[in-house]
Chain A
Amino acid sequence: MISKKVLIIFPCYNEEDSIGKLLMTAKKLNYPGFSFCLLPINDCSSDGTLIELTKNSKTYMDLANNLGIGAVVQLGIKYAQLNNFDYAIQVDGDGQHPIEEIEKLILESEASKCDICIGSRYLKHEGFQSTFARRFGINLINVLIKMLTGKTIHDSTSGFRMFNKKAINLFSNYYPDKYPEPESIVCALINGLTISEVSVVMKERQGGKSSIAGLRSVYYMVKVFLAIIFLKLSNSKNGINSIN
């Protein structure tokens, strides 16, 4: 039986403290019927992240400019499409997404044949639950998504996700830039993709600082709101998906 090819995308921005150990753990990944390829992508880090990548991985990418999480993940997805991968998984370089939990994503994707499988922190309230302010904002976005698409997503900002070929092809053409997780969910639902959630236990940030904190997160929430509303508007205006 031909094994399915899985690409694991590691977006890295100033993660020199955590990425080395993360890659070493990921290299040991073994699951029957699946072959794994690791792709760390250095988003123009100013610290020693690139050195960690050269030490710990055969395949990696080093960007000429800082593009942000959205464009980096999309680059990984384009790589997956170009090289005919069956699945692509996003694992953040800060160590919050544990490698051991990937198995849950794979099991759910294979069982439910969903297009996107989200590793959700908030399905069962286990593990690191994040700050109150962050959870409030996330709940607001979840309500908006429910209103516009009818689908209930518990963790719409989780970056711990698995994409199948259909999702890979969709997001190769369009993937939102800043704070892409909620907007990409709405984009997927509008284009008829199926989304499944599994409960995972995430860790606290192992190293480095979050790029979204304090007042900036308010600005991003507003942007996400606007973007989601415009996405929905574009869908109802044209009837078919307007992603070009």
Chain B
Amino acid sequence: MELIQLISLAFSITFLIVVFNMIIKKKLREEFSVIWILCAIMFNVFAFWKSGIDWIASYLGVYYAPSLLFMFLFGALICYSLHLSKIISKQHNDIKNLTQHLAILEDKIRQMENK
């Protein structure tokens, strides 16, 4: 086994442990972890199965096999960024609603105090 395989295996296992720890301590919600877990598993699979990338690349018609790995990684990161943007949009909206609600409540209190 090559040194790089050992390094990538060690890295992805450490990464998984960190992610699991964060979920257990409630610092990360389970839904966000799914994509990280999938990536780590895929990373590990290809770390061991060297010919795997070559095989899939030739099947898909990709000339330079490692670029397939980069493509997957980029694709995953783009999807994840989009997912995060969606969440931020919802939170932005929620904060707006809360702020407006708060203003209405404060006005009610002021009116009650003035009576």
Show the binding face of A for B, using Cβ within 8 Å.
Answer: 64-65, 174, 223, 226-227, 230, 233-234, 237, 242, 244
Residues of B within 8 A of A (CB): 20, 23-26, 30-31, 33-34, 93-94, 97-98, 100-101
Using known A-B contacts A223-B31, A227-B30, A230-B30, determine if residue A237 contacts B24 with beta carbons closer than 8 Å: yes
CB-CB < 8 A to A244: which residues of B? 26
- Nearest chain B CB to A141's CB is how many angstroms away? 15
Structural contact, B24 and A234, CB atoms closer than 8 A: yes
- CA gap between A237 and B100 in the complex, in Å: 43
Interface of A is mostly: helix
Q: How far is the CA of A234 from the CA of B30 in the complex (A)?
A: 13
A-B contact count (CB 8 A): 29
In the complex the two chains form, what is the Cα distance from A230 to B37 in whole Å? 13
Residue in B34, B97, B100 whose CB lies within 8 Å of A226:
B34
Q: How far is the CB of B84 from chain A (nearest CB, A)?
A: 18
Once the chains bind, are B97 and A64 in contact (CB under 8 Å)? yes
**Contact for A230 among B23, B93, B97, CB less than 8 A:** B23
Task: Output the nearest chain B residue to A243 by Cβ-Cβ distance.
Answer: B26
The smallest C-beta distance from A186 to any residue of chain B, in angstroms, reads 13
Chain A residues, Cβ within 8 Å of B26:
174, 242, 244
B43 to chain A, nearest CB (A): 20
Would you give the shortest CB distance from B92 to chain A, in whole angstroms? 11
Most buried by B among A65, A223, A227: A65
> How close is A239's CB to chain B, nearest CB, in angstroms?
13
Partner of A65, one of B20, B23, B98: B98
Knowing A230-B23, A242-B24, A244-B26 touch, does A64 contact B98 (C-beta < 8 A)?
Answer: yes
If A64-B98, A65-B94 touch, does A226 touch B30 (CB 8 Å cutoff)?
A: yes
**Which of B23, B30, B97, B101 is A223 in contact with, Cβ under 8 Å?**
B30
Interchain residue pairs A-B with the least CB separation, the first 9: A64-B101, A234-B24, A65-B94, A64-B97, A226-B30, A65-B97, A230-B23, A64-B98, A227-B30
Partner of A233, one of B20, B93, B97: B20
